Amino acid sequence: MPHSAEALLSNEAAAILDILGLVTSKADVIKLTTDLRKQGFDPGLVAQCITQAKLRYRAVAKFGQQKASKMLFTEDGLEQSTRTEVSNWHAKRFSRANVKSVADLGCGIGGDAMAFAGAGIDVTAIEMDSDAAALAAHNLSSYPNAKVSNSDATEAEITTDAIWLDPARRNLSSKAAGRVMLKPEDFSPNLDFAFELARQRSAGIKLAGSLPHELIPEDCEANWVSHNSELVETVLWFGALGIAGKRSAVIIDQDALEFEGEEIPAPLDAPGQYIYDPISAMVRSHLLGAFAIENGLWGISGSIAYLSGDKKVDSPWLRGFEILEVLPLDSKRIAKRMGELDIGTLEIKKRGVDITPEQLRPKLKLKGKKSATLILTKIADSRKALVCQPIAYKD
């Protein structure tokens, strides 16, 4: 059988994929395989196409059904690709800066490149991995303004107005990556290479939402981006694409909502009537202090990212709860009180304390009829459990 990407690009694979459509993880793969083999298709190719049809099914969440049903993926390529709403926002930034051509240095299967091309920007997409490059060429085939090169981006001669980089993490499992201090060389292309290039022409660089702030250069704009309540990226903009020194949190919905501010600490005080859980893009942006001040809120303990206040704040940046009671963080006391309050359904949230909801829950022996939220955290230096109800906002 030919090399995997090559095989997927054959007419026979296209015919099998047409028959398969999207395949869910629950599909009867044995039946599908048997039926296709009976029709005379190559067994190895059938297996490969079933895997591909499953990847297409998973890709619907990122690309929508129409696009996902036509695209081709590698497992890693799908995992690493940018979802359409977010890549469209990237492309909009390039269009707004009047960028006419972009080099996508490490395009993967072409998620971002498709959005750039769709926005009418000429795209030179460069990808080192031959399978991903071949599939990117397929995914970009309906855009006459996009071309793909299977080569090393660090050796490319760049002639475009701007560059886009979405570097891959090198040699680190995501678990290890969370523990170790990341260095520029942990990315491919290397971040030092990316930053050097970004100073020569306008550039956007997409990095993990958890990127350590120490790795972010001063002379770029940095945005912490949330989509569907998930922190999806830290994106750095250089040259005409951003404002040097600007820091903001962004929510991508129908449109992009932005909070821009300074990295200043939130004022601290005892909890008011309400406690607020900010979305992770706001927390990771380190702009929570500025946000608190702007909204008349305050922190309740040094470095813990809950805010509090005496007024109901209805904001896409926060989930709010009314504080009903404050208990010491003692499982027996909490269990007793949950019983007295007739709580059976309990959402447990925590920040800044070592106990986990999984450890606490069985000790509470919940069996009441009512529901509540329990927030485990610190007030000043003492560990507390806040019995709360989510704020009901009127539409």
Ligand X SMILES: C[S@@+](CC[C@H](N)C(=O)[O-])C[C@H]1O[C@@H](n2cnc3c(N)ncnc32)[C@H](O)[C@@H]1O
Q: What residues make contact with ligand X under the rule CB under 6 A?
A: 80-82, 106-112, 126-129, 132, 152-154, 166, 168, 188-189
Residue closer to ligand X, measured from CB, 55 or 292: 55
Euclidean distance between CA atoms 118 and 112, whole angstroms: 10
List the one residue out of 347, 274, 346, 287 whose CA is nearest residue 317: 287
Residue 158 CB coordination number (10 Å): 17
Residues comprising the chain, all counted:
395
Q: How far apart are the first and last CA of the chain?
A: 58
Euclidean distance between CA atoms 378 and 385, whole angstroms: 8
Residue closer to ligand X, measured from CB, 112 or 122: 112
Q: How far is the CB of 360 from ligand X (least distance, A)?
A: 37
Q: How far is the CB of 118 from ligand X (least distance, A)?
A: 13
Q: How far is the CB of 264 from ligand X (least distance, A)?
A: 33
Euclidean distance between CA atoms 36 and 88, whole angstroms: 37
Per 3-state DSSP, the chain is made up of helix, strand and coil in percentages (nearest 5) of 35, 25, 35
Q: How far is the CB of 314 from ligand X (least distance, A)?
A: 34
Q: How far is the CB of 211 from ligand X (least distance, A)?
A: 13
Report the chain's C-alpha Rg in angstroms. 25
Residue closer to ligand X, measured from CB, 83 or 378: 83
Q: CB of 276 within 8 A of CB of 308?
A: yes
Q: CB of 96 within 8 A of CB of 118?
A: no
Q: How far is the CB of 83 from ligand X (least distance, A)?
A: 8
Distances (CA, A) of 175 to 67, 172, 353: 31, 8, 21
Q: How far is the CB of 128 from ligand X (least distance, A)?
A: 3
Residue closer to ligand X, measured from CB, 168 or 293: 168
Residue closer to ligand X, measured from CB, 165 or 297: 165
Please state whether 143 falls in left (phi above 0), alpha (psi between -120 and 50) or beta. beta
Euclidean distance between CA atoms 52 and 29, whole angstroms: 13
Residue closer to ligand X, measured from CB, 234 or 308: 234
Residue closer to ligand X, measured from CB, 82 or 223: 82
